[in-house]
Structures are given as structure tokens and as C-alpha cells.
Amino acid sequence: MRIVDPETGEVLPPGRDGLLLVKGANVMQGYIGDEARTREVIREGWYVTGDLASIDRDGFITIRDRLSRFSKIAGEMVPHVRIEEDIHAVLGIRGEQVCAVTAVPDEKKGEALAVLYRGEMDVAAIRTGLSERGTPNLWIPKPGLFFHVDEIPLLGTGKLDLRRIKALAAERAAALEREGGADKEAAAP
């Protein structure tokens, strides 16, 4: 097992977060009849798990998230789960998913964070609370990229439907852009 920088592939030292790669006899050799897909996940004999993790000096692995749950904003990797956790903490909510964070395209920074939420949410208060918690400014979604939904899209397993969440946020962001931009205070349901 090793941890590498997701961008450069450089092996990272113990304790640093990066992309988890594994290698060994118990790791699949590839997809039968699909060389292109195999090349995506097997690199120089290492299986690219898609997990962001760290390995401590004793060899213990801590998985933080999936690479697909990160955005690259102005060159910085921004974790969606961390922002969801921070929003839930600001709201004082535990054990219930009232928001989901994803990314939408942004001309200036590559991507921008978007939040789908259900129920009532005071966007200005959430943004202030995130700032007060020490959430980096770059990680605080723009006011107009908070979108009310009746329900957070879930899979049959109860996990977030990340594809549907991303598609829904992209639709809402595109509609907002046609109306004049994402810097508006909040998007209508």
C-alpha cells in the first residue's frame, strides 16, 4: 500500500493525505476484455482505489473519503464531506443528511461548490457559521449555489446518489447563470 499525490503520482510520506494505491497477489489484474478501463485503475501494477487516505508510521490506514467527493478549486483539493459535516455542525444536526455538497463548473476557479439542501436553511447564517468554525474561505459555497430540494437524492442502499446530486446542481447552477449569476443571496426552490 502507498499514498500518492492525486495530481502528480508522487509518493507521500506517512501521515499525509493522498490517493491510496494497493498492490499484491490479492488485487485484481484488470477488467476482462476492457483494456481501456483496466489502464484507468491499474497503473504500473498498482490498483488505484479512488480512496483518499493516509498511512501512519505504524502502517495503519485511515480512509478519509472518495476522490470523487473532492473538488479542485483554484488548484486546491476541497473535501465535500468535510463541508457537509461543517454545515451539519453549524445547524446542530447529527445523524441526519439535510445537505449534500458537490461541484459545478466555474470559469475562474475550475469548479465551485454547490449545496443541495432540504428543509429550511438560512444561507447567510450558514456561511457565517462556517466562517466562524474556521472553514477556509475557499471552501465556503457562494450564496447563490445553495439549492433547495424536496429530498436529497439517495441510492437504494441509502447512500448519496452522487451522479444525480451533481446533475441536479449543474441544472440549477446553469439556470441561475442564465438569470444573472451565482452571487445572488440564495436560489429559489
Q: Are strands 99-106 and 110-117 parallel, antiparallel or unpaired?
A: antiparallel
pLDDT at 83: 94
Region(s) of the chain under CATH 2.30.38.10: 2-59
Q: What dotted CATH number matches 69-179?
A: 3.30.300.30
Close Cβ partners of 100 (under 8 Å, ≥ 6 residues apart) = 80, 84, 115, 116, 117, 152, 153, 160, 165
Could you read off the pLDDT of 138-157 as tens digits, one per residue? 999 999 999 999 999 998 88
The set of residues, in sequence order, having a beta carbon less than 8 Å from that of 171 and lying 6+ positions away, is none
* Residue 14 Ramachandran class (φ > 0 left, ψ -120 to 50 alpha, else beta): beta
Topology annotation, domain 2-59: Luciferase; domain 3 (2.30.38)
Mean pLDDT of 72-98: 89
For residue 111, list its beta bridge partners. 105
pLDDT of the residue at 183: 53
- At 44, phi and psi to the nearest 5? 55, 40
pLDDT for res 71: 84
Number of neighbours of residue 80 by Cβ within 10 angstroms = 24
pLDDT on residue 186: 44
Q: Which segments of the chain belong to CATH 3.30.300.30?
A: 69-179
| pLDDT confidence band for 181 (50 / 70 / 90) | low
Residues 97-111, mean pLDDT to the nearest whole number: 91
96-105, 154-163, 178-187 — which is least confidently predicted? Answer: 178-187
Q: Using CA atoms, how far apart are residues 13 and 3, in angstroms rounded to an integer? A: 8
Instruction: Record the pTM.
Output: 0.70
